Amino acid sequence: MSLTNAPRPLRSVLIANRGEIACRVMRTARRLGLRTIAVYSDADANARHVREADEAVRLGPAPARESYLDIDKVIAAAKLSGADAIHPGYGFLSENAEFVAACEAAEIVFVGPPASAIAAMGDKASAKARMANAGVPLVPGYHGEAQDDALLREEAGKIGYPVLLKASAGGGGKGMRVVESDREFQAALDGCRRESRAAFGDERMLIEKYLTQPRHVEVQVFCDSQGNGVYLFERDCSVQRRHQKVLEEAPAPNLSPALRQAMGEAAVRAAQEIGYVGAGTVEFLLDAASETSSSEAVHFYFMEMNTRLQVEHPVTEMITGEDLVEWQLRVAAGLPLPKAQDELTLTGHAIEARLYAEDPDNDFLPATGTLERFGLDPNAGGLAPERVRLDSGVEAGDDVSMHYDPMLAKLIVHGEDRGQALAEMDRALAALDVSGVTTNRRFLQRLVTHPDFIAARLDTRFIEHHHDDLFANEPVTDADIARAALVALDRLDRASDERSPWERSDGWRLNAPQHVRLAFAEAEGTPPIPVVATRSASHSTWQLSVNRNGEESNHYEGKLQRLDGDAVAITLDGHRRRLLARTELSAGGETIILTAAGFESRLIWRRSDRVDHLSHEVAAKLSAPMHGTVVALLVEPGQPVEKGTPLVVVEAMKMEHTLSAPAAGAVEAFHFKVGDAVAQGDELLAFASAEATEGV
State which amino acid sits at residue 363: D
Spatial contact of 301 and 287, defined as CB atoms under 8 Å apart: yes
d(CA 589, CA 582): 14
Q: Do the Cβ atoms of 599 and 430 come closer than 8 Å?
A: yes
- Residue length of the chain: 696
Element (H, E) at 270: helix 257-273
The number of beta carbons lying within 10 Å of the beta carbon of residue 638 is: 10
659 touches 684 (CB < 8 A): yes
Residues 6+ apart with CB under 8 A from 343: none
Give catalytic status of residue 457 as yes or no. no
Number of Cα atoms under 13 Å in the Cβ half of residue 287:
17
Beta carbons within 10 angstroms of residue 510's beta carbon: 7
Which string of DSSP letters, residue by residue, matches 141-177? Answer: EE--S---HHHHHHHHHHH-SSEEEEETT--TTTTEE
Q: How far apart are CA 29 and CA 49, in angstroms?
A: 13
Q: Which long-range contacts (CB under 8 A, 24 or more apart) does 538-543 make?
A: 539/514, 542/485, 542/486, 542/489
Instruction: Cis check for the bond before 140: say yes or no (omega within 30 of 0).
Output: no
- Say whether 615 sits in a helix, a strand or coil: helix
Residues 18, 193, 260, 308: which is the catalytic one? 308
Q: Which residues contact 242 (CB under 8 A, 6 or more apart)?
A: 173
Task: Kindly report the number of other CB atoms within 10 A of residue 103's CB atom.
Answer: 23
Q: Can you tell me the distance from the alpha carbon of 117 to that of 330, in angstroms, rounded to the nearest whole number?
A: 19
What is d(CA 569, CA 629) in angstroms, rounded to the nearest whole number?
A: 44
Q: Note whether 277 and 114 are within 8 A (CB).
A: yes
Residues 446 and 597: their CA atoms lie apart, in Å, by 10
DSSP β-bridge partners for residue 433 = 375
> What is the 3-state secondary structure of 385-450?
HHHEEEEECCCCCCEECCCCCCEEEEEEEEECCHHHHHHHHHHHHHHEEEECCCCCHHHHHHHHCC
Query: Do 77 and 17 form a contact (C-beta atoms < 8 A)?
Result: no
Q: In the beta sheet, which residues pair with residue 359?
A: 365
β-strand partners of 153: none
The maximal CA–CA distance of the chain, rounded, in angstroms, is: 93
The DSSP 8-state label assigned to residue 371 in this structure reads: -
Helix or strand run (H / E) with residue 109: strand 109-110
Catalytic residues: 308
